[in-house]
């Protein structure tokens, strides 16, 4: 299954961008499974299994989306409250 390459050019890349890349990989996996499923007759066990896999990939996508959104908020905290994490 082809997946998008996740590139991290340096340590300064925000975590939210890395999560975004992982989300793209999950979408690619979902599209692959849905496309593969369409090669089988409706109602067959193989098609149902592949559609289930596609649904799982979308679940992974949603989890990463929540984490990305939280990370975007976290990344902006330092802009408003310098040293907020000191002593935590």
Please state, in angstroms and rounded to a whole number, the distance separating the CA atoms of residues 7 and 24: 12
> pLDDT at residue 11 above 60?
yes
Whole-prediction pTM value? 0.78
Domain ranges of the chain: 15-79
Residue pLDDT, tens place only, 17-58 = 999 999 999 999 999 999 999 999 999 999 999 999 999 999
Residue 31's pLDDT is 95
> pLDDT at residue 77 above 80?
no
In whole angstroms, how far apart are CA 82 and each of 75, 85, 86?
A: 11, 8, 9
In whole angstroms, how far apart are CA 77 and each of 6, 31, 46, 62, 64?
A: 26, 35, 47, 23, 20
């Amino acid at each position: 299954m082809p997946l998008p390459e996740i590139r991290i050019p340096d340590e300064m890349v925000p975590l939210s961008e890395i999560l975004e890349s992982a989300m793209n990989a999950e979408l690619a996996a979902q599209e692959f499974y849905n496309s593969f499923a369409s090669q089988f007759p409706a109602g067959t066990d193989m098609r149902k299994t592949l559609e289930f896999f596609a649904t799982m990939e979308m679940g992974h996508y949603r989890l990463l989306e929540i984490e990305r959104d939280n990370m975007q908020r976290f990344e902006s905290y330092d802009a408003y409250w310098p040293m907020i994490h000191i002593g935590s």
